[in-house]
Amino acid sequence: MKLLCLDTSAGSQVALVEGERVLSQAASNSARAHAESLTDLIREVCGIASGEPLKGAFDAVVVGRGPAPYTGLRAGLITARVLAKACDVPVYGVSSLEMIARAALDELPAESQVVALADARRKELYAAQFSALGTDDLQQIGDFEVDKPASLHETLPENVWRVGPGLALYPELENESPVSVPTVPVTVAARIVNARLANGRAEELGTEPLYLRRPDVQVSKKVKSTLGDQAKK
């Protein structure tokens, strides 16, 4: 099954994955609107020129559902849902922190736990703790958090490895983890989805956004996307 994986928690990332093979991937930190950037990346990854139909290029869409700042996350989720509907394929959601944590757990002993950290802006971080569940899945321990680095430094367990792009911003939170995950590894989302589908856990793959707080700014209800019409051509 070919999975088109998208994440807009920090910039825009797209990958086309089949089984354990990453067929192609692309990323952008463009300041343009996330939806516009995603359109270009999706076509690049699928090898389909502008104006040509996308239907048939993949069997399902996987989208990062955060936690992340409002505007970028919203654009990614809407793009994924519109694209899936237009191409008549299912859409699945995976937390961006799950992707970070699973990539780190791949490099650690099976019984390990990690805390994944990502930038939440406003001088805050998103955080969540995870342990491995088999070789491709994971389970969350406790709730998602968004807090100041100083507060997290006091509350996070010292004996659990801390990983993720948030550490580059606040190195005082590092606890000598033997692994580093400097970006959200969008390709890992495919493994998580395949594992959950194989184990009858599709209900854990919803696309409800994880905003965790109110948006920084109000945005238009219309998100620019031409994928819906183009996919049907």
pLDDT of 72 reads 86
pLDDT of residue 206 exceeding 50, the answer is yes
- Domain ranges for the chain, please list them: 2-95+185-232, 97-173
Q: What topology is assigned to 97-173 in CATH?
A: Nucleotidyltransferase; domain 5 (3.30.420)
Whole-angstrom distance, CA of residue 10 vs CA of residue 174: 21
Q: What is the pLDDT of residues 142-179, one digit of tens each?
A: 999 999 999 999 999 989 999 999 999 999 999 999 99
DSSP character string of 47-98: T--TTS--TTS-SEEEEE--S--HHHHHHHHHHHHHHHHHHT--EEEE-HHH
pLDDT-above-70 percentage for the chain: 89
pLDDT of 228 reads 54
Class for the domain spanning 2-95+185-232: alpha beta
pLDDT of 36 reads 73
Whole-angstrom distance, CA of residue 169 vs CA of residue 182: 10
Confirm whether 2-95+185-232 and 97-173 share one CATH topology.
yes
pLDDT of 221 reads 43
pLDDT of 64 reads 98
Q: What is the pLDDT of residues 42-91, one digit of tens each?
A: 999 999 998 899 999 999 999 999 999 888 899 999 999 999 999 999 99
| Mean predicted lDDT score pLDDT of the chain | 90
Q: What is the pLDDT of residues 3-19, one digit of tens each?
A: 999 999 988 999 999 99
